[in-house]
Amino acid sequence: MGAWEYGSSTPHTPTLSILPYFLLMLWEYIANGLVVGTLYVIVALGLSIIFGMIGVINFAHGAFYALGAYFAVQLQHALGFTGVLIISPIIVAILGMLIEVLFLRRLYSGDPLLGLLFTFGLAMVIEQLIRIIWGPSGYPFDIPKALFGAIPIGPFIYSKYRLFTLICTATIIVGLWWFLEKTRYGTIIRAGTRDPEMVRMLGIGLNSIFTLVFGLGIALAALAGVLSAPLAGVQPAMGNEIATAAFVVVTIGGLGSFWGAIVAGLLVGEIVTLSIRFWPPGAQASMYILMAIILLTRPHGLLGERWEKFE
């Protein structure tokens, strides 16, 4: 798992005499679990939206996550952190939309397995291209100066950058919900998720909507890659790990479920982070154990049915 899941970010000295060390330590791990969970949520939502609308299980999602981080590395000196946080996901989204238009779209009418195989191969191609262009070694990514250090929150202190990541991801989730629920395109996307043929019969072309949805999902993955770069650094295989976690989150939340991805992402983030503290040997396995328990009791995931009704 990435370093940002293990990281201890806050010195405790000023409050050790007031609150027991255990509570301070627990607060820190819970807060870090929220950061990890919200990053899982952002990646899983992109994955979930693409599957829900297009029906493609995008195995290349993690590769686009890594690509977002690498574009951030490439452009950070010219644009600064704020600039790359906006521009890098846009560049990766445009690249994803080109791939959807030129290649993926041709596979929609065929066997669904073709889309899965295509994205699997695409993931390997992107990772190898990253190694060729940027090299096999990783890159450090400094925390922006404005977000360096810690900030007091009541009796606790916490990393400014981790707090920024929490606020940023929460804003993205709310914005995405608003887009899907309150805009015309969001209404079409939700309707197309339930019944694409009905949308076509209403005279609405779905090709451009599919491209928009694919680009949106890819942009979310790239954005998570940029946000995680200062926490875990950047390296070619960074997408494999997050993609695995995102698939677990989507499976637990319910394939194609918006709110399911949010609940499951936060749950997985907390369980993995707390396992690192209390049961380190089982930290990697904890999310899979949770997934097994959920699937045994709710085969469609926590909120899988709600995507079909899109309440």
Tokens of 126: 């992107």
* Predicted pLDDT at 19: 60
* Predicted pLDDT at 222: 96
Ranges of H-type helices in the chain: 3-6, 21-54, 61-102, 112-134, 160-182, 184-194, 196-201, 206-232, 238-253, 258-278, 283-297, 304-309
* Predicted pLDDT at 305: 59
Instruction: Give 149-198 pLDDT, tens digit per residue.
Output: 888 877 778 899 999 999 999 999 999 999 988 888 888 887 776 677 77
* Residues in Cβ contact with 88 at an 8 Å cutoff, skipping those fewer than 6 apart: 68, 69, 71, 72, 75, 222, 223, 225, 226
Instruction: Give 67-89 pLDDT, tens digit per residue.
Output: 999 999 999 999 999 999 999 99
* Predicted pLDDT at 279: 87
* Predicted pLDDT at 10: 47
Between CA 90 and CA 101 the distance in angstroms is: 16
Given a cut of 50, the residues of the chain with pLDDT beneath it are 1-15, 307-311
CA 28 to chain centre: 22
* Predicted pLDDT at 26: 82
Q: Please provide residue 178's backbone torsions phi and psi, each rounded to the nearest 5 degrees.
A: -60, -45
Q: Say which residue the tokens 């049961």 belong to.
A: 279
pTM: 0.87
* Predicted pLDDT at 288: 92
